[in-house]
């Protein structure tokens, strides 16, 4: 480990050596004092390294203290060195949040297995009771490749008993799915989800698989699955013949202190604080359980959940204890706290020249390089290693870079479990929902059906669509690409858009609408292309390459760049270095680091002697950006001003003058910056935040500016990938899709309004010095609610904010909240976007059942922006409708951006698309549905870019109708899930190349097992459609050993080549040269007619390309 030298030095201290020689015996306590900064963690790491046979357990007062200990010990002992046993977030017997439940159970299992050497826990966790199966072996499920006979049905029964949920497709932890002889499972104790394949009653293979693509990866020998909750494991060591009651005996309620191995040494961090927290947990529990009883629940007794403080103390007293605190005098260490540097580099240079020698610990390589440049002294040694606080030993001084620069140290806990990210493919057609058929218009999708065709009784799977007057259209699934879901802004979630009118089969209304929309799309795309071409020709200013200052600023960034951020930042700077003006759109959720990219771009502009403008929709955002820019550029000679209504008229006039004289480098402000009296001396970069929130007049003024200067537009509203791709050539887009590492999941609870619950939720947040959002979306009753909230939190400084207040008043209130002068903000939906208050980590939403999922998701996104645990309470009446309940459940279980957000993201994407396309197009989107519109937009842009000679590219590829005399489909027994099935059919229907079909074949084999004959024939149909489309076939009919091919009227087939290829596969061909041209085939020998025809057509196309 990089910091081994530190542990060596620490181990040489006489105080450390004497502690190692005289560690307390079980039942004894020693006090240790004089340990400032992170030295207690260094002490624990040193002890653990020198006494590898002992277990060291740190008990910290609170979860925040525990996180700091864990981070320090991970730095010292490596990421897998210490284990964490976190406390429950909820008091019931069940922990609903997988991250916590999983970490608890994995740590317990490792502890009982004897593989934990250093453990970190909290006061409350050490007093909690937890169910631990008497025989751990029976609670683990180990699956190995063909070690023993193991029936799949037995395995699924075990998984059910362990608390796992069966689903059609595994998308997150705690789920399993079964398809034929294949089991997919993702459980606690597993590094990644696994796919297990059976052969009879033996396990034939185990492979990991990817949640997004569902494709399997590396081969594994075995997997170990732990139960979802220790409580879900019955004690199976009781004999089968035992009496009824004993068989179901609950697992023993044990406590962490009971489970620690003999000889464990406990380190109590601030012993009196630990004791207080245990007392408080005991008192809190009484209150919680009382609340639960008042709410009509039957909670467990307090004694089942926690040890009472006296029982806890007596268990503690049996163990060997070292109490670490400043008050301790028994065993003092000769350490001192480090000197304060507080960004004063001159002072730092002085300090490092005095003894003892100095080591400066940097969070990462970038920081290390920056400090080397800044310090330029030989006296200090720089090393990478993040510790919380420095300290001075007689032989060594340890300083940390975040203390030197007075920056918060960010604790990064990687997520334990992944969940699948949504994809465009996951927009299934839902029975009863509206769909658009490209030829027939809008109807209602009625689900999948199997129908019989022709006299042979061949079955065909179709999607049924109902039109006006009850007419039904059966769409064969191999042509499912003719259907798109009908979605427009406001459906999904908000329900603003009225349902569309159904079309009549055979009427001309749809054709007219279709032509009108396609013409409008063409006009818009042409205008965009024209604008793009004008910009390509325009000459702007080419900024010089990065300077050392630029690199220094970037390495001083508090957090590590996400890969997206690094890429976006490089793309923006590369654009600035080109001669043509930049016009880039940066899309990323709030808190995903857009502002940082903007700061870097602005700094680049200023170093070239240019001015930069940041344009934002509200004064609050202007102030917020002002603070961020000033903090980030504090070490550089950059003049930053905020032009906002908080300045007097006189100040504003003076500021406008200074801007014109070039005395201001970066100006941040609202649309006031677009007034004609604001003139810039030398504008080089314009940064626009949330452009869609500006009015038409302002947008026009922006357009004129855009032709000559570099423009970077920021938005937090996601836009659909497809739209991004189709506009890819017209606007440069950069997407920030990776969440920053240190975002902690937001714990979400859906509860009825209860005074005691709210009182406690607010008290918990205020106790830790945080702030609370309380959202109530009705202006007429907001003051009444605010009075109730104030009564529940009497010591809180409370303010009310809503859209009907005077703008100045509203901004003043918001400003006070941002600055931390208000503890509880009672407001309407106006907090939905933009506000960034890392100190506010509790969100309470009143009548959450009235909000759309997208709105709730955005509201919840306001909290959880620091490493602190965040809470979101969704308050609902006792009776809510089914849809609202589903929406709320999605939020309760998906504490992070997981699969549940597909719906929210879809709704948000629609808004984002609307913002990007502008008003006049939204009517067309409404008329034909969003997906159809995007599809046509994509085709149009493609054909315009290729020039009109390529206009028919997609039209030119028209696959033939293929009819077999045997069933060709994916049987329910093979692919049971309709959504998965539709997705596969859609991909086959759109496949134009053999490799796309081969990819589907491999995926089917991987996910669902060997292909049945019907599925093989379905792929054959897809191959014939793809190949037939390229050679100009209109129909292919196969019956027994004969086939008939008909060509399109406009096709010009090369018949000689075709006849040669057909002879090569032993087919007799009879060509009928009528119009349309057709060929009858008879198989004389060789392979059967379908595969033979595929081989012949492939050969024809190969020769054609040569």
For 817-855, what is each residue's pLDDT tens digit? Answer: 988 899 999 998 876 556 778 889 999 999 988 887 667
CATH number of 962-1105: 3.90.1150.50
Does domain 746-895 fall under CATH 3.40.50.1820? My reply is no
The more confident residue out of 729 and 85 is 85
Which pair of tokens denotes residue 908?
């948000």
Given a cut of 50, is residue 902 above it in pLDDT?
Answer: no
Measured CA to CA, the distance from residue 1024 to residue 1016 in angstroms comes to: 12
**How far lies 194's CA from each of 173, 219, 429, 894, in Å?**
11, 9, 28, 21
> Could you give the strand order of the β-sheet that contains 746-751, starting from the edge strand earlier in sequence?
746-751, 870-875, 840-845, 771-775, 824-827, 798-801
pTM tops 0.75 = no
Q: What is the mean pLDDT of the chain?
A: 83
* Alpha helices in 260-413, H assignment, sequence order: 271-294, 302-305, 309-317, 345-353, 365-375, 401-404
pLDDT band (50, 70, 90) for residue 234 = very low
Look at 585-589, 871-875, 1010-1014 and tell me which has the smallest mean pLDDT: 585-589
C-alpha dihedral sign at 321, 324, 325, 329? positive
136 vs 107: CA distance, rounded Å:
13
Q: Where in the chain is the domain with CATH 3.40.50.300?
A: 538-720, 746-895
Q: Where, residue-wise, is CATH 3.30.2060.10 in the chain?
A: 141-225
pLDDT of residue 526 exceeding 80, the answer is yes
| pLDDT above 50 for 243 | no
Residue with tokens 């009296």: 677
265-279, 653-667, 761-775 — which is least confidently predicted?
761-775
Does residue 649 surpass a pLDDT of 90?
Answer: no
Give the Cα separation of 445 and 436 in Å (integer).
Answer: 9
Please tell me the predicted confidence (pLDDT) of residue 207. 94
Task: Give the pLDDT mean for 662-684.
Answer: 89
Per-residue model confidence as pLDDT tens digits over 925-957: 888 887 888 888 878 877 777 765 444 444 456
Q: What is the pLDDT of residues 597-611, one digit of tens each?
A: 999 999 999 999 999
Residues 477-515 pLDDT 10s:
888 889 988 877 654 434 445 788 999 998 899 999 999
pLDDT at 907 over 90: no
257 or 912, which is more confident? 257
Q: 660-676 as b/e, with b when 16 or more CB fall inside 10 Å?
A: eeeebbbbbbbbbbbee
Third-level CATH fold of 141-225: Penicillin-binding protein 1b fold (3.30.2060)
User: Which CATH number is associated with domain 4-133+254-332?
Assistant: 3.40.50.11180
The pLDDT assigned to 79 comes to 83
The candidate with the shortest Cα–Cα distance to 857, out of 913, 898, 802, 912, is: 898
For 538-720, CATH number?
Answer: 3.40.50.300
pLDDT classification of 245: cutoffs 50, 70, 90: very low
- Residue 453's pLDDT is 77
pLDDT at 239: 31
- Under the banding of pLDDT at 50, 70 and 90, the label for residue 415 is low
Lowest mean pLDDT among 470-474, 938-942, 980-984: 938-942
Cα–Cα distances in angstroms (integers) from residue 291 to residues 91, 162, 223, 278, 786, in the given order = 11, 30, 42, 20, 22
Q: Taking residues 762-779, what's their average pLDDT?
A: 88
521-529 mean pLDDT: 81
Task: Give the per-residue pLDDT at 130.
Answer: 82
User: Would you say residue 921 has pLDDT above 90?
Assistant: no
Query: Between β-strands 771-775 and 441-453, what pairing exists: parallel, antiparallel or unpaired?
Result: unpaired
| Residue from 430, 422, 425 nearest 171 by CA | 422
Contact 1094, 962 (CB under 8 A): no
Cα separation, 225 vs 197, whole angstroms: 16
Could you give phi then psi for residue 336, rounded to 5 degrees?
A: -130, 155
Higher pLDDT, 90 or 279: 279
- CATH 3.40.50.11180 domain residues, the chain: 4-133+254-332
Greater confidence, 726 or 971?
971
pLDDT score at 728 = 53
User: For tokens 């793309």, what's the residue?
Assistant: 571
Question: Whose CA is closest to 206, among 214, 195, 198, 217?
Answer: 195
Residue 249's pLDDT is: 39
Q: What number is the average pLDDT over the span 630-653?
A: 87
Percent of the chain with pLDDT over 90: 37
pLDDT at 102: 85
Q: If pLDDT is split at 50, 70 and 90, which confidence band does 131 have? A: confident
Task: Give me the phi and psi of 335, to 5 degrees please.
Answer: -115, 155
Least confident interval from 151-155, 554-558, 904-908: 904-908
Question: Which residue shows structure tokens 């703008």?
Answer: 807
- Name every residue whose Cβ is closer than 8 Å to that of residue 1035 and which is 6 or more positions away in sequence: 960, 961, 962, 963, 1044, 1045, 1046
User: What is the location of CATH 3.90.1150.50 in the chain?
Assistant: 962-1105
Backbone angles phi, psi at 859, to 5 degrees: -65, -45
Asked whether 1018 and 1026 are in contact (CB, 8 A), the reply is no
**3-state secondary structure string, 516-553?**
HHHHHHHHHHHHHHHHHHHHHHCCCCCCCCCCHHHHHH
The pLDDT value given to residue 161: 87
pLDDT interval class at 1014 (50, 70, 90): very high
pLDDT digits (tens, 9 = 90+) for 185-211: 999 989 899 999 998 889 999 999 998
Q: What is the pLDDT of residues 4-46, one digit of tens each?
A: 999 999 999 999 999 999 999 999 999 999 999 999 999 999 9
């Amino acid at each position: 480990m990089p910091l081994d030298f530190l542990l060596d030095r620490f181990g040489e201290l006489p105080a450390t050596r004497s502690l190692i020689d005289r560690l307390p015996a079980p039942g004894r306590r020693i006090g240790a004092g004089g340990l400032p900064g992170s030295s207690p963690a260094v002490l624990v790491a040193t002890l653990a390294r020198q006494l590898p046979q002992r277990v060291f357990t740190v008990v910290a007062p609170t979860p925040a203290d525990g996180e700091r200990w864990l981070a320090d010990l991970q730095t010292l002992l490596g990421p897998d060195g210490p284990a964490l046993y976190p406390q429950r977030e909820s008091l019931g017997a069940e922990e609903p949040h997988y991250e916590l439940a999983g970490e608890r159970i994995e740590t317990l299992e490792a502890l009982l297995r004897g593989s934990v050497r250093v453990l970190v826990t909290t006061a409350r966790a050490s007093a909690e009771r937890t169910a631990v199966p008497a025989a751990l072996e029976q609670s683990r499920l180990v699956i190995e490749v063909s070690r023993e006979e193991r029936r799949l049905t037995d395995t699924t029964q075990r998984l059910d008993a362990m608390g796992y949920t069966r689903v059609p497709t595994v998308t997150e932890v705690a789920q399993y799915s079964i398809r034929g002889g294949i089991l997919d499972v993702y459980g606690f104790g597993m590094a990644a989800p696994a796919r297990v394949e059976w052969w009879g009653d033996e396990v034939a293979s185990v492979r990991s698989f990817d949640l997004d693509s569902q494709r399997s990866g590396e081969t594994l020998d075995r997997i170990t699955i732990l139960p979802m909750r220790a409580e879900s494991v019955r004690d199976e060591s009781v004999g089968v013949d035992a009496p009824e009651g004993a068989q179901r005996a609950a697992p023993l309620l044990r406590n962490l202190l009971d489970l620690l191995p003999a000889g464990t040494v406990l380190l109590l961090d601030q012993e009196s604080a630990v004791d207080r927290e245990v007392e408080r947990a005991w008192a809190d529990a009484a209150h919680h359980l009382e609340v639960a009883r008042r709410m009509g629940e039957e909670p467990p007794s307090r004694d089942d959940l926690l040890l009472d403080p006296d029982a806890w103390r007596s268990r503690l007293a049996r163990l060997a204890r070292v109490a670490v605190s400043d008050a301790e005098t028994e065993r003092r260490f000769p350490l001192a706290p480090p000197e304060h540097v507080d960004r004063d580099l001159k002072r730092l240079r002085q300090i490092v020249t005095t003894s003892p020698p100095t080591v400066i610990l940097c969070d990462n390589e970038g920081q290390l390089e920056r400090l080397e440049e800044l310090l330029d002294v030989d006296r200090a040694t720089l090393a990478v290693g993040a510790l919380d606080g420095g300290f001075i030993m007689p032989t060594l001084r340890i300083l940390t870079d975040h203390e030197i620069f007075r920056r918060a140290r960010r604790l990064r806990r990687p997520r334990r479990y992944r969940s699948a990210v949504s994809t465009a493919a996951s927009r299934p057609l839902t029975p009863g929902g509206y769909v658009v058929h490209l030829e027939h218009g809008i109807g209602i999708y009625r689900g999948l059906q199997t129908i019989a065709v022709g006299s042979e009784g061949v079955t065909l799977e179709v999607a049924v669509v109902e039109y006006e007057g009850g007419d039904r259209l059966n769409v064969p699934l191999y042509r499912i690409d003719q259907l798109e879901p009908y979605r427009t802004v406001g459906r999904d979630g908000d329900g603003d858009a009225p349902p569309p009118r159904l079309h009549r089969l055979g009427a001309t209304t749809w054709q007219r609408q279709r032509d009108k929309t396609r013409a409008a799309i063409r006009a818009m795309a042409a205008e965009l292309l024209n604008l793009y071409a004008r910009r390509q020709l325009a000459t702007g200013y080419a900024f010089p390459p990065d300077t050392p200052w630029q690199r220094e600023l970037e390495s001083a960034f508090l957090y590590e760049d996400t890969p997206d951020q690094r890429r976006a930042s490089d793309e923006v700077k590369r654009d600035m270095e080109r001669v043509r003006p930049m016009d880039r759109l940066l899309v990323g959720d709030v808190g995903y680091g857009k502002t940082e990219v903007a700061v870097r771009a602005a700094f680049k502009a200023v170093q070239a002697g240019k001015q930069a403008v940041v344009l934002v929709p509200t004064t609050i955002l202007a102030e917020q950006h002002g603070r961020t820019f000033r903090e980030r550029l504090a070490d550089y000679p950059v003049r930053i001003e905020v032009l906002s209504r908080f300045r007097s008229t006189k100040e504003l006039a003076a500021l406008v003058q200074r801007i014109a004289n070039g005395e201001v480098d970066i100006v941040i402000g609202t649309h006031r910056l677009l007034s004609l009296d604001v003139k810039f001396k030398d504008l080089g970069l314009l940064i626009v935040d949330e452009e869609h929130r500006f009015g038409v007049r302002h947008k026009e003024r922006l357009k004129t500016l855009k032709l000559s200067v570099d423009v970077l537009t920021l938005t937090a509203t996601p836009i659909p990938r497809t739209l991004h791709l189709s506009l890819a050539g017209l606007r440069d887009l950069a997407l920030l899709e990776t969440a920053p590492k240190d975002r902690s999941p937001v714990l979400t609870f859906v509860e009825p309004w209860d005074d005691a619950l709210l009182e406690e939720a607010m008290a918990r947040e205020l106790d830790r010095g945080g702030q609370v959002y309380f959202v109530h979306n009705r202006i007429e009753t907001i003051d009444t609610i605010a009075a109730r909230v104030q009564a529940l939190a009497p010591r809180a400084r409370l303010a009310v904010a809503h859209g009907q207040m005077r703008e100045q008043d509203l901004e003043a209130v918001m400003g006070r909240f941002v600055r931390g002068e208000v503890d509880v903000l009672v407001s309407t939906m106006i907090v939905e976007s933009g506000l960034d208050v890392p100190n506010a980590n509790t969100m309470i939403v009143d009548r959450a059942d009235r909000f759309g999922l997208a709105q709730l998701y955005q509201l919840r996104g306001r909290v959880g922006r620091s490493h602190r645990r965040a809470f979101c309470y969704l308050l609902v009446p006792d009776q809510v409708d089914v849809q609202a309940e589903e929406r709320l459940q999605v939020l309760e279980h998906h504490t992070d951006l997981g699969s549940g957000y597909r719906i929210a993201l879809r709704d948000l994407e629609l808004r984002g698309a609307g913002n990007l396309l502008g008003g006049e197009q939204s009517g067309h989107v409404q008329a034909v549905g969003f997906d159809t519109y995007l599809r046509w937009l994509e085709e149009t842009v493609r054909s315009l870019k290729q020039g009109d000679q390529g206009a028919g590219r997609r039209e030119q590829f028209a696959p033939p109708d293929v009819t077999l005399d045997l069933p060709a489909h994916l049987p329910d027994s093979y692919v049971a899930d309709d959504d998965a099935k539709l997705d596969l059919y859609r991909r086959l229907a759109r496949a134009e190349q053999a490799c796309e079909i081969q990819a589907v074949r491999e995926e089917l084999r991987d996910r669902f097992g060997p292909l049945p004959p019907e599925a093989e024939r379905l792929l054959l149909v897809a191959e014939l459609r793809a190949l037939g489309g390229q050679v100009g076939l209109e129909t292919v009919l196969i019956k027994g050993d004969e086939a008939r091919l008909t060509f399109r009227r406009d096709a010009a087939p090369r018949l000689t080549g075709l006849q040669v290829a057909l002879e090569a596969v032993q087919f007799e061909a009879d060509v009928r040269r009528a119009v349309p041209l057709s060929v009858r085939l008879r198989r004389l020998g060789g392979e059967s007619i379908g595969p033979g025809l595929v081989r012949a057509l492939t050969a024809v196309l190969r020769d054609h390309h040569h």
